[in-house]
């Protein structure tokens, strides 16, 4: 895998992930963009104690453009997009309309393929592996940011969940707090350890009541770290898109070098 970082016209970072080590990524973003200014902020719900992201600027984000104006397709001639080059394998860039930004975290977009009409399920095992490599790399990088406490990778697909761009893509959220579900999972893991007296040195187990079938849990330093099953895309009979991954979040209490995904099978 080759990784190439380049700035976009408004100062945001874009990263190419290529299968070929000899790939050259020197295209320049020619769009006349002003520097991105966001108004993301985190507010606390006084009744529930939850942290809530407020991002009113997202009301102006790109909304269901026609395929020939998709901002996630490669640039072609004078049709300029978020990706300056004319092709790519996998690309990651800072969201132009982020829910979290600055001291409130970070949001990134992950384009799985340059093929607008494809899907994650259509990727070859090699291509899907490159997406996982990008997730792994970004999880490690974002985990070092002072404003990020939890990293969460996920796929965006389907108008039913509010997706506004049809191109095969996902997002990475770098939260400035630990989300409630993850906090609950960590408390449950700690309670299980206390109740069973499980050893803290390389003990692997799969509690029957652990959320998500097929997940495994490893204790190495007294805190949980999910492992990846690299079995390749599979067809699924569930409502989840075939071959799409279920992504578990990474928090600062986890080992930062391993990916946080298991395949839905």
**Of 17, 19, 56, residue with least CA distance to 38:** 56
Cα distance between residue 85 and residue 81, in whole Å: 9
128 to 18, 90, 135, 208: CA distances (angstroms): 12, 10, 11, 29
What domains appear along the chain, each with residue ranges and CATH number? 2-27+63-178 (3.30.428.10), 181-248 (no CATH)
User: Average pLDDT, stretch 142-161?
Assistant: 91
Highest mean pLDDT among 193-202, 203-212, 228-237: 193-202
Asked if residue 53 lies in contact with residue 100, where contact means CB atoms within 8 angstroms, the answer is yes
Residue 173 in contact with residue 100, Cβ under 8 Å?
Answer: yes
- Per-residue pLDDT, averaged over 207-225, amounts to 40
The model's confidence at residue 163, banded by pLDDT at 50, 70 and 90, is confident
Cα–Cα distance measured from residue 116 to residue 62, given in angstroms and rounded to the nearest whole number: 16
pLDDT per position as a tens digit, 99-150: 998 888 999 999 999 999 999 999 999 999 999 999 999 999 999 999 999 9
**What percent of the chain is predicted at pLDDT more than 90?**
54
Q: Looking at per-residue confidence, does 230 or 64 come out higher?
A: 64
Phi, psi of 240, rounded to the nearest 5 degrees? -70, 145
Given a cut of 90, is residue 2 above it in pLDDT?
yes
- Sign (positive or negative) of CA dihedral 158, 161, 164, 167: negative
pLDDT tens digits for range 50-102? 888 888 778 777 778 898 999 999 999 999 999 999 999 999 999 999 999 88
Closest CA to 15 of 129, 96, 173, 134: 134
**Tokens at 243, concatenated:** 């071959």
Catalytic annotation, pick one of 116, 167, 169, 192: 169
Strands 169-175 and 106-111: antiparallel
| DSSP letters for 26-73 | -------PPPP----EEEE-TTT--EEEE-GGGGGS--S--GGG-TTS
DSSP per position, 105-122:
-EEEEEE--S-TT--GGG
**169 catalytically annotated:** yes
Please state, in angstroms and rounded to a whole number, the distance separating the CA atoms of residues 135 and 153. 7
């Amino acid at each position: 895998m080759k990784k190439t970082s380049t700035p976009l016209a408004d100062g945001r970072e874009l990263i190419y992930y290529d299968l070929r080590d000899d790939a050259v990524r020197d295209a320049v973003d020619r769009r006349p963009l002003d520097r991105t200014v966001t108004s993301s902020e985190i507010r606390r719900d006084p009744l529930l104690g939850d942290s809530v992201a407020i991002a009113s600027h997202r009301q102006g984000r790109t909304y269901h453009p026609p395929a020939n104006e998709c901002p996630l397709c490669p640039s072609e001639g004078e049709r300029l997009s978020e990706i300056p080059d004319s092709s790519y394998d996998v690309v990651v860039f800072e969201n132009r309309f982020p829910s979290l930004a600055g001291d409130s975290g970070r949001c990134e977009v992950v384009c799985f393929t340059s093929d607008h009409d494809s899907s994650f399920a259509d990727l070859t095992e090699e291509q899907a592996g490159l997406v996982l490599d990008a997730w792994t790399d970004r999880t490690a990088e974002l985990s070092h940011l002072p404003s990020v406490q939890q990293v969460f990778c996920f796929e965006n697909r389907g108008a039913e969940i509010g997706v506004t761009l049809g191109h095969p893509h996902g997002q990475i959220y770098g939260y400035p707090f630990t989300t409630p579900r993850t906090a609950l999972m960590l408390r449950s893991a700690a309670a299980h350890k206390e109740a069973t007296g499980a050893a803290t040195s390389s003990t692997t187990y799969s509690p029957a009541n652990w959320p998500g079938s097929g997940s495994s849990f490893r204790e190495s330093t007294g805190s949980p770290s999910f492992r990846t099953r690299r079995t390749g895309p599979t067809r699924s009979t569930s409502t989840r898109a075939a071959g799409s991954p279920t992504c578990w979040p990474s928090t600062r209490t986890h080992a930062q070098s391993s990916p946080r995904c298991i395949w839905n099978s």
